[in-house]
Structure 1
């Protein structure tokens, strides 16, 4: 579950027992009806976000889109890492993400579920043997692992084989 601390409560906490291996930071600035995200990375452009009405104008992408893209990218990277480590030749990975938004008892909208379909395209049928289960992949994804307690997460892996033309002739 998610917990929140006030600034005064957070300042009195002891440092974590285990120091983080890495971290990230970004800045979000709200202008008129949209937000600008500065990832503070050299050579990376800022990103404009726009909430759905009534908070924004829906020009997109929304924070929900960003959540879905982070999850899809993280699962795709985990899949690529696992398959390459096992020696598979992954030619490409396509990822489709969709989310469900519903109102709660107080009419506040919440992301209640996200569905991710990963389509790794491999060079040979033998590469299919190293495709991990969806459950294992979700365990290896930093973002999926963080989201699982709070929403329904559905992950499907549907591999495809694209054998090289010279292999098909033999």
Structure 2
């Protein structure tokens, strides 16, 4: 199965662009942060972090519901580390994603939770694709901050 997705970008000012996702979705303005741009929208690094974080959160939700587990809602935070390479160019060198369930681990079926946690990353199209060039570290915890990642 081949699936293609596309967006259209149009420059509106200096480093500002508008991303058109198609008819059913409101366009999104993007911009570089100061001093390069005016910071009037998310920067490319933020969009990548959001894409990886969202895809992992959605994949975790899918895996939990597959095993009839209610995480009570999922919060995700994603952070890109940007460093200069040997040529002095800025590059994303790592992405760290933290996923937190609103549920307490004690309310979940442990065997089903473990199965969901061992599988969910494999369902994430974006993070699994990004991992071929950028390390992606994922942690999952419950509402109290108790780590849930399998050992």
| Gapped regions of structure 2 (runs ≥ 5) | 145-151
SS of the residue corresponding to residue 74 of structure 1 reads helix
* Cα distance in 2, alignment partners of residues 138 and 156 from structure 1: 11
The answer to whether the aligner puts 1:40 opposite 2:34 as a matched pair is no
Following TM superposition, where does structure 1 have runs of at least 4 consecutive aligned residues deviating by more than 6 angstroms?
Answer: none
Change (3 A) 1:154 1:105: same
Number of aligned residues: 140
> What's the offset of the Cα at 1:61?
0.8
Which is worse superposed, 24-33 or 93-102?
24-33
Partner of 2:135: 152
Alignment of 1:16-55 (within 5 A): 19-20=1-2, 22-33=3-14, 34-42=16-24, 44-53=25-34, 55=36
Check the 8 A contact 1:68/1:97 in 2, yes or no.
yes
Matches within 5 A, 1:16-165: 19-20=1-2, 22-33=3-14, 34-42=16-24, 44-53=25-34, 55-122=36-103, 125-127=106-108, 129=110, 130-131=113-114, 132-133=116-117, 136-160=119-143
Q: Which moved more, 1:146-155 or 1:122-131?
A: 122-131
Query: Aligned pair in 2 of structure 1 residues 91, 109: CA closer, same or farther (>3 Å)?
Result: same
> Normalising by structure 1, what TM-score?
0.74
Q: Residues of 2 paired with 1:137 and 1:124: CA distance?
A: 17
Unaligned runs of 5+ in 1: 1-18, 162-170
Separation in structure 2 between the aligned mates of residue 113 and residue 36 of structure 1, nearest angstrom: 27
CA shift, 1:30, in A, is 1.5
3-state SS of 2:17 partner: strand
Cα RMSD (Å) of the superposition?
2.0
- Give the Cα–Cα distance (whole angstroms) in 2 for the partners of residues 72 and 57 of structure 1: 25
